[in-house]
């Protein structure tokens, strides 16, 4: 089938290739003319036969909103827009309503796979009305990994991004789990080869996983991670997961601890720990470390 794909960055570019390899026709648009197949969104829409399918793969927030707005003006009733970016699930309903007013369908798709997706396939979590989702099935089939897993129609509009968001929240805590264990093992003297302990865990243990395999890869490149700084970014979904938990009165202690550990990792100095030091000094006369 035919599909338009907007956003040809690291993710979008690889997805275009994987869809084409499955035999579909992809017309890609990107602001960067070197990778773009067309010179404007208008040209992209023109090139597609109605009813059109357009997959949006641009940064969440303002960029996605702007593309959705522009597509609302270019597309026709019966067309379908898929937001495959990392949008917050609360944006999906707004986008769906905005487009529905013009008869345009909307599907949200959470996409997991990172740099491995081109080769292994992308896991897809999809939200939207059945009629819109079903039009997309050949594309989902092309993108997803082989085998029975890696695709789910999770529910209504927003359910795809919500599921992907929770996936990332879980990912935060799993990464934190391995990271905490690794630090503790590295700290004690009796364990003399932590990398080999991690490597051995790849079979027969309760904690074997793809993330564990990646940890072993990382340790093979740099046994004690001495070339890295302990500085971890976060990309939004972890924050949204905690916010969704608060909205729903669900306690998420491990996921939240993992998010906060990242926040702390990015501070040169901790203001709250200055206050702790100041208070200890006030009541106990404890020495403080000063800036010089």
Residues in 233-292 that interact with a second copy by CB under 8 A: 233, 239, 241-246, 248-267, 269-286, 288-291
Residues 6 or more apart in contact with residue 256 via CB below 8 angstroms:
242, 245
Q: How far is the CB of 59 from a second copy (least distance, A)?
A: 14
Q: What is the dihedral of CA 14, 213, 152, 243, to 10 degrees?
A: -100
43 counts as catalytic: no
Q: Are 154 and 188 within 8 A, CB to CB? A: no
- How far is the CA of 223 from the CAs of 32, 120, 193, in angstroms? 39, 27, 10
Classify residue 96 as exposed, middle or buried by CB count within 10 Å of its CB (0-12, 13-18, 19+).
buried
Binding mask 153-192 for a second copy (x = CB under 8 A): xxxxxxx--xx--xxxxxxxxxxxxxxxxxxxxxxxxxxx
Q: Residue 126 phi/psi, 5° resolution?
A: -120, 140
**What is the DSSP track for 34-76?**
TT-SSSSHHHHHHHSPSSPEEEE-S-TTHHHHHHHHHHHHH--
CA atoms of 42 and 128, how far apart (whole Å): 25
Binding mask 57-96 for a second copy (x = CB under 8 A): --------------------------------x-------
Question: Catalytic: which of 43, 93, 141, 171?
Answer: 171
Q: Taking the alpha carbons of 27, 28, 29, 31 in that order, is the dihedral positive or negative?
A: negative
Q: Which is nearer to a second copy, 70 or 178 (CB)?
A: 178
Q: Which is nearer to a second copy, 106 or 151 (CB)?
A: 151
164 counts as catalytic: yes
Q: How far is the CB of 136 from a second copy (least distance, A)?
A: 15
Residue range at the interface with a second copy (CB under 8 A); choices 23-31, 39-47, 80-88, 142-150: 142-150
Q: How far is the CB of 110 from a second copy (least distance, A)?
A: 10
Q: How far is the CB of 186 from a second copy (least distance, A)?
A: 6
DSSP state of 2: E
Question: Catalytic: which of 98, 164, 183, 221?
Answer: 164
Binding to a second copy (CB under 8 A) within 14-53 occurs at: none
Q: Which is nearer to a second copy, 1 or 175 (CB)?
A: 175
Q: Residue 287 phi/psi, 5° resolution?
A: -60, 145
The verdict on 122 binding a second copy (CB under 8 A) reads yes
Residue range at the interface with a second copy (CB under 8 A); choices 36-44, 46-54, 78-86, 232-240: 232-240
Q: How far is the CB of 155 from a second copy (least distance, A)?
A: 4
Q: Which is nearer to a second copy, 48 or 277 (CB)?
A: 277
Which residues are tagged catalytic?
164, 171
């Amino acid at each position: 089938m035919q599909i338009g794909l907007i956003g040809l960055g690291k993710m979008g570019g690889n997805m275009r290739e994987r869809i084409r390899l499955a035999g579909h026709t992809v017309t890609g648009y990107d602001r960067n003319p070197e990778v773009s197949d067309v010179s404007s969104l208008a040209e992209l829409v023109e090139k597609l036969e109605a009813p059109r399918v357009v997959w949006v793969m641009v940064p969440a927030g303002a960029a996605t909103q702007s593309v959705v707005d522009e597509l609302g003006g270019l597309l026709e009733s019966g067309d379908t827009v898929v937001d495959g970016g990392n949008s917050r699930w609360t944006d999906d309903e707004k986008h769906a309503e905005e487009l529905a007013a013009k008869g345009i369908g909307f599907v949200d798709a959470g996409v997991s796979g990172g740099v491995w997706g081109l080769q292994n396939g992308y896991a897809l979590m999809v939200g939207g009305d059945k009629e819109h989702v079903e039009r997309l099935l050949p594309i989902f089939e092309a993108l997803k990994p082989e085998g029975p897993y890696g695709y789910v129609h999770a529910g209504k509009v927003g359910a795809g991004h919500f599921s992907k968001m929770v996936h990332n929240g879980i990912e935060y805590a799993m990464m934190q789990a391995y990271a905490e264990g690794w630090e503790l093992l590295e700290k004690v003297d009796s364990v003399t080869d932590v990398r080999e302990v991690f490597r051995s865990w790849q079979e027969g243990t309760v904690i074997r996983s793809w993330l564990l395999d990646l940890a072993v890869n990382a340790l093979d490149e740099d046994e004690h991670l001495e070339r890295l700084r302990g500085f971890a970014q976060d990309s939004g979904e972890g924050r949204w997961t905690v916010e969704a938990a608060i909205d729903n009165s669900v306690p998420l202690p491990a996921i939240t601890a993992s998010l906060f550990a990242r926040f702390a990792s990015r501070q040169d100095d901790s203001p709250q720990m200055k206050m702790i030091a100041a208070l200890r000094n006030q009541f106990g006369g404890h020495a403080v470390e000063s800036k010089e």
